């Protein structure tokens, strides 16, 4: 076992990614230092990742469990994307204080707003624990033994500390890494530009280059008096970080070194050709259609009501983001002829395996088995995806039912424990938050449209819901009815709710999905993962000179490249940056997604760029050849000295295919220039006191 582990680790270290593709594990960055320096980097590996002293990693945080953020001052000031902080911005907004429309800037610490449940997590250290996890393991079936080994590793790593830890599988279980974490529980909202900056371009520009979106928001981490994580308290103080990022005020140019440091969500570079083809032709188009229907209702309603714009701003953004990404993803994969390329890779793999008796025995049938499994059982992947779209992305009142099911199922237990009043009060608070942003008419129209679409796709049958009955009588579609239901809840209520039209519709079909789809989906996924583990092991062993990197899995990663434009298709040539002039040109087009406020025009006409311009232009965004994905939103883009150049927030439409296949000639990440961020804070918003906290490097 030790020999095998040493071989695998050696292979990974030798396979330095020479191009821009790949999401690298920070603890292994020493192996890539020379390649990064060849691209222009002036940092050392120790500057980027260190356990024994402060390093860049200590300024990088996972924001809210999904996005990335970075600390930019000694007082815990945190930058992330506008869309990453959007749910907090929306939660603090009302018709009286519309921070979505008008922006918000705290003028002092007392005006920074609390966000219950919002966290910021940094990585303390990363450690390869493959040998410990697999100690005594001789079979794929020893899941409980692997779990026990992992629990022991975590216990030993966190004993006597306030840290938590995870052990994550990499390369489908060929490797395991320990992530020791420090999670801060008091993260306050400091400021945001208005939507006309933070969401400039709206759906028109989403996933598109050239881009002019000021996609940033500002938060602050607070800690207890000992500078350690603490629940919210008025006694908490701004966090003093181990490291904060200096701000690069230097001129940029095409070809400059760029490094993205963050928490990319997931990639699937190893899927087989059959699976990829069905993603392109079936799964993605059906999910796009489901979101088409929801957006057709929401977008129309938002245009006609200021209140609905506030209520549904975050929901609409969440639904439309993946919707447009998938459209570009399908187009990019088709243009690249990705299925053909995948088949060529698989043929090469199999031919190499058949050239050696040992490899033939281990890997000779791997590709064929993967494709056969996908051909037969992908239908469960499809049904799972459609269920996600219907039950979790679709009608909102489904979410309220899920929140209430604990009370319905465990009423007797809570009465016995004397907790029933506490649980009821909790549900009434849930009701307040839910109905604040709920519109029954919108939800019922979405319910009707998606129910028809879902069942026509799943079993070819039409299904209709009594939406009028659900709207007029269900306790889950009206705050007054729901609150009365909770307040009067007793042992008979659990039976009465079964007759509720909204509840019975959801529970009947959700139970069918759970019973008929989930077990088959899990079986398919687990069987495929076993084959993928073997496939990746074969790649590492049989192709030692090729580039290898582990799929993204929401762990801290590094990707490096250059500031550069692209030519993604015949006749298209994209420059590497955009300027304020482009904002004004788009505004003059008359498209409502490009509206701006008078303040922007005033500053533009006066050419009042302060010290934030380059060659009399104010850069807004730039693109780079860094390999990014979801979760990299908000990630710092760093220059050759480790100074903050900007915030990663998107990919070009031609790049969204990079979750499955990266093309260095067309894939580009999109970044809001930090100098534009500072200009918006300082000149546009008159919040220069925040700039004074930062360390500017010219």
Task: List, for residues 540-558, the tens digit of each pLDDT value.
Answer: 999 998 888 999 999 999 9
Q: What is the mean pLDDT of the chain?
A: 93
Catalytic residue among 20, 186, 215, 639, which?
215
Which stretches within 388-466 are classed as H helix?
Answer: 397-417, 420-436, 440-458
d(CA 83, CA 197): 11
Query: CA-CA distances (angstroms) from residue 115 to 188, 190, 433, 466, 629?
Result: 6, 11, 13, 38, 26
Residues 6+ apart with CB under 8 A from 108: none
d(CA 76, CA 244): 8
d(CA 453, CA 204): 26
Q: Give mean pLDDT, residues 585-605.
A: 95
Helix (H, G, I), strand (E, B) or coil at 658: helix
Task: List, for residues 339-373, the tens digit of each pLDDT value.
Answer: 999 999 999 999 999 999 999 999 999 999 999 99
Using the predicted structure, report yes or no on whether residue 569 has a pLDDT greater than 90. Answer: no
Neighbours of 472 (CB within 10 A): 14
Using the predicted structure, report yes or no on whether residue 48 has a pLDDT greater than 90. Answer: yes
Task: List, for residues 81-129, the tens digit of each pLDDT value.
Answer: 999 999 999 999 999 999 999 999 999 999 999 999 999 999 999 999 9
In this prediction, residue 5 carries a pLDDT of 42
Catalytic residue among 27, 47, 50, 83, which?
83
Catalytic residue among 633, 652, 658, 685, which?
633
In this prediction, residue 581 carries a pLDDT of 97
d(CA 215, CA 122): 22
Which stretches within 517-631 are classed as H helix?
Answer: 518-542, 580-587, 598-605
In the residue annotation, 212 being an active-site residue is answered as: no
> Percentages helix, strand, coil for the chain, rounded to the nearest 5?
50, 15, 35
Domain range list for the chain:
269-377+524-538, 394-516
In the block, tokens 């007392």 appear at 110
Q: For the chain, what is the total number of helices (H) and then of strands (E)?
A: 27, 19
In the residue annotation, 474 being an active-site residue is answered as: no
How far out from the chain centre does Cα 272 lie? 24
**Cis peptide leading into residue 684 (ω within 30°):** no
Using the predicted structure, report yes or no on whether residue 3 has a pLDDT greater than 50. Answer: no
User: Sign (positive/negative) of CA torsion 106, 112, 118, 121?
Assistant: positive
What long-range pairs does 361-366 form, CB within 8 A, spacing at least 24? Answer: 362/534, 362/537, 362/538, 363/534, 363/535, 363/537, 363/538, 363/542, 366/531, 366/534, 366/535, 366/538
- DSSP category for residue 85: S
Angle formed by the axes of helices 397-417 and 479-487, to 10°?
Answer: 10
Using the predicted structure, report yes or no on whether residue 506 has a pLDDT greater than 50. Answer: yes
Q: Give mean pLDDT, residues 229-257.
A: 97
Task: List, for residues 646-689, the tens digit of each pLDDT value.
Answer: 999 999 988 899 999 998 888 999 999 999 999 999 999 999 99
365 sits in the region (left: phi over 0; alpha: psi -120 to 50; else beta) called: alpha
In this prediction, residue 20 carries a pLDDT of 65
Confidence label for 459 from pLDDT (cuts 50, 70 and 90): confident
Task: List, for residues 261-277, the tens digit of each pLDDT value.
Answer: 999 999 999 999 999 99
d(CA 540, CA 11): 7
């Amino acid at each position: 076992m030790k020999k095998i582990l040493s071989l695998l680790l050696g292979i990974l270290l030798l396979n330095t990614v020479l191009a821009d593709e790949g999401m690298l594990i920070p603890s292994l960055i020493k192996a890539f230092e020379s390649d990064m320096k060849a691209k222009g980097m002036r940092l050392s590996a120790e500057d980027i990742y260190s356990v024994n002293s402060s390093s860049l990693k200590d300024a990088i945080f996972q924001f809210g469990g999904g996005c990335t953020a970075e600390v930019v001052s000694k007082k815990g000031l945190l930058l992330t994307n506008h869309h990453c902080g959007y749910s907090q911005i929306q939660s603090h907004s009302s018709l009286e204080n519309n921070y979505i429309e008008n922006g918000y800037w705290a003028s002092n610490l007392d005006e920074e707003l609390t966000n219950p449940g919002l966290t910021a997590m940094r990585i303390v250290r990363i450690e390869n624990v493959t040998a410990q996890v697999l100690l005594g393991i001789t079979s794929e079936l020893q899941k409980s033994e692997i779990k026990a080994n992992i629990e022991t590793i975590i216990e030993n790593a966190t004993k006597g500390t306030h840290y938590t830890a995870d052990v994550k599988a990499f390369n489908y279980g060929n490797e395991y890494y320990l992530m020791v974490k420090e999670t801060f529980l008091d993260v306050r909202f400091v400021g945001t530009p208005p939507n006309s900056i933070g969401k400039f371009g709206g759906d028109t520009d989403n996933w598109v280059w050239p881009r002019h979106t000021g996609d940033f928001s500002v938060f602050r981490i607070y800690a207890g008096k000992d500078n350690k994580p603490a629940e919210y308290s008025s006694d908490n103080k701004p966090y003093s970080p181990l490291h904060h990022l200096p701000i690069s005020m230097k001129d940029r140019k095409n070809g400059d070194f760029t490094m993205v440091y963050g928490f990319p969500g997931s990639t699937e570079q190893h899927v087989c050709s059959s699976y990829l083809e069905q993603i392109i032709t079936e799964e993605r188009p059906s999910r796009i259609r489901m979101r088409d229907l929801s957006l057709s209702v929401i977008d129309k309603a938002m245009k006609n009501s200021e209140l609905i714009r506030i209520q549904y701003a975050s929901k609409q953004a969440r639904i439309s983001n993946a919707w447009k990404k998938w459209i570009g993803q399908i187009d990019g994969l088709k243009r690249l002829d990705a299925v053909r390329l995948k088949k060529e890779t698989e043929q090469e793999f199999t031919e190499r395996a058949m050239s050696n008796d040992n490899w033939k025995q281990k890997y000779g049938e791997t590709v064929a088995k993967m494709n056969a499994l996908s051909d037969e059982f992908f239908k469960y992947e499809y049904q799972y995806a459609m269920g996600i779209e219907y039950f979790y992305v679709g009608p909102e009142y489904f979410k309220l039912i899920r929140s209430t099911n604990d009370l319905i199922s465990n009423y007797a237990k809570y009465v016995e424990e004397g907790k029933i009043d506490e649980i009821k009060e909790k549900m009434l608070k849930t009701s307040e938050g839910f109905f604040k942003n709920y519109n029954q008419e919108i939800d019922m129209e979405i319910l009707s449209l998606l129910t028809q679409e879902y069942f026509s796709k799943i079993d070819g049958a039409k299904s209709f819901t009594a939406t009028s009955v659900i709207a007029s009588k269900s306790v889950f579609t009206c705050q007054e009815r729901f609150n009365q239901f909770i307040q009067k809840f007793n042992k008979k209520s659990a039976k009465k709710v079964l007759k509720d039209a909204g509840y019975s519709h959801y529970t009947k079909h959700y139970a069918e999905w759970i019973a008929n789809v989930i077990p088959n989906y899990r079986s398919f996924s687990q069987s495929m993962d076993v084959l993928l583990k073997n496939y990746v092991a074969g790649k590492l062993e049989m192709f030692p000179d090729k580039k290898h990197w582990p799929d993204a899995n929401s762990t801290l990663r590094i990707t490096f490249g250059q500031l550069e434009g692209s030519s993604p298709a015949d006749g298209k040539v994209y420059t590497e940056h955009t300027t304020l002039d482009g904002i004004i040109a788009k505004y003059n087009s008359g498209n409502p997604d490009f509206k701006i406020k008078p303040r922007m025009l005033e500053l533009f006409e006066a050419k009042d760029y302060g010290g934030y311009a380059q060659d009399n232009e104010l850069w807004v965004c730039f693109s780079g050849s860094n390999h990014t994905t979801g979760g990299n939103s908000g990630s710092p883009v760093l220059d050759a000295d480790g100074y903050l150049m900007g915030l990663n927030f998107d990919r070009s439409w031609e790049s969204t295919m990079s979750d499955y296949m990266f093309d260095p000639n067309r894939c580009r990440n999109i970044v809001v220039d930090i100098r534009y961020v500072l200009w918006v804070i300082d000149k546009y918003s008159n919040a220069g006191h925040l700039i004074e906290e930062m360390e500017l490097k010219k």
